[in-house]
Amino acid sequence: MRELIILIFGLIVCIQLCNGEENITTQQCEAHCDLPCKANAFCSEPDICACNPGYLAKDGVCEPVCSNKCPDKSHCVAPNTCSCPLEFEWDQSFEKCLPKCTPKCGLNSYCHKTDECKCRTGYEPNDLMSLSCHFSYPLWVYLIVVVLTPPLVGITYCCMATCGPHGVCISPETCGCNTGYRKNKKTQQCEAHCDLPCGANAFCSEPDICTCNRGYLAKDGVCEPVCSNKCPDKSHCVAPNTCSCPLEFEWDQSFEKCLPKCTPKCGLNSYCHKTNKCKCRTGYEPNDWMSLSCHFSHPWGFLENFRFRTVVAHVTTLLICYCYVLASTLTSLPS
């Protein structure tokens, strides 16, 4: 019975020498999951999936995490990245999702619901199919009531909707903009105007003053993305909290860093040493000068092979167990 227990223990040790699955490219043991991991996850331990950085498990699904709560009607689609539904679009002035109309609404109208334009108060459509609107009273009424009478009697114009912090009501339901601001044709709100266009990842926050978008920081006059965690070696920050490898490198999940990329992929017993340059592993040589695969360079070259060393370790352990059992059996026999 004791000998059987020892033999079973030896077999367990052999199996555990490589607890996982061998990566053919790196020759390293990696965790193996029988069932494939879902989107935005990877196999972290045998048969255990973990969410990628920037994602959090919720009801068995890895969902992106946005440190700042997404505005109304928008949702988190990637780490620290909010997006509007298809029927809405992001409005920089209001910093929220507004209904989207295709084609765009015309003069004196606005997008009331998705693909539904509506005339502003005091206006009516030019015709049945028009996206633009005109003043709903005759021109002579407009001139007397709106243009001539109010200044004479000291009437202040009134707009039902607010003209915003940078606008002023100049006629019924018509807003004008303060100096340095211009009206957004889509939202009819007054926005800051910059004579010189703002650079990439920036917007005009005040008259002739550009400000970096959220998640970006000004450096030497350029708005650069900010990554809260330092990007690994050879990678760089390409978007807020998003690192990327250069074109000549690719991300390796096992080592969690950028490694050289070879196109086409390196073959058997070789690895990508430099960009588009394969190199044989120790103890191997190229099959020919154009080959991406390698073979044993000498009769004992197989001793350098990782898989062969693992098999030898297994067999050696079994032989030791067998010899121990045999010795124990022989010593227990009566002399």
> And the tokens for 154?
């000291």
Task: State residue 102 phi and psi, 5-degree precision.
Answer: -130, 115
Residue type, 191: E
Give the domain ranges of the chain: 84-192, 305-335
Angle between helices 306-332 and 2-15 (to 10 degrees): 170
Place of tokens 């910059």: 194
Cα 230 to Cα 75: distance, rounded to the nearest angstrom: 26
Cα 297 to Cα 139: distance, rounded to the nearest angstrom: 96
Cα 281 to Cα 303: distance, rounded to the nearest angstrom: 12
Cα 190 to Cα 299: distance, rounded to the nearest angstrom: 81
Cα 164 to Cα 217: distance, rounded to the nearest angstrom: 28
Residue 192 CB: number of other CB atoms within 10 A?
A: 20
Do 190 and 182 form a contact (C-beta atoms < 8 A)?
Answer: yes
Could you list the pLDDT tens digit for every one of the 335 residues in the chain? 555 554 455 444 444 444 444 454 555 677 888 888 888 888 888 878 888 888 888 888 888 888 778 888 888 888 888 888 888 888 766 677 888 888 888 887 888 888 888 887 777 888 777 778 877 767 666 666 655 665 555 555 556 556 778 888 776 667 788 889 988 877 777 889 998 888 888 899 889 898 898 888 888 888 988 888 888 888 888 888 888 888 788 888 777 788 888 888 888 888 888 888 888 888 888 888 777 888 887 655 445 554 556 666 667 777 887 777 777 776 666 65
3-state DSSP: the chain helix, strand, coil percent, rounded to 5? 20, 35, 45
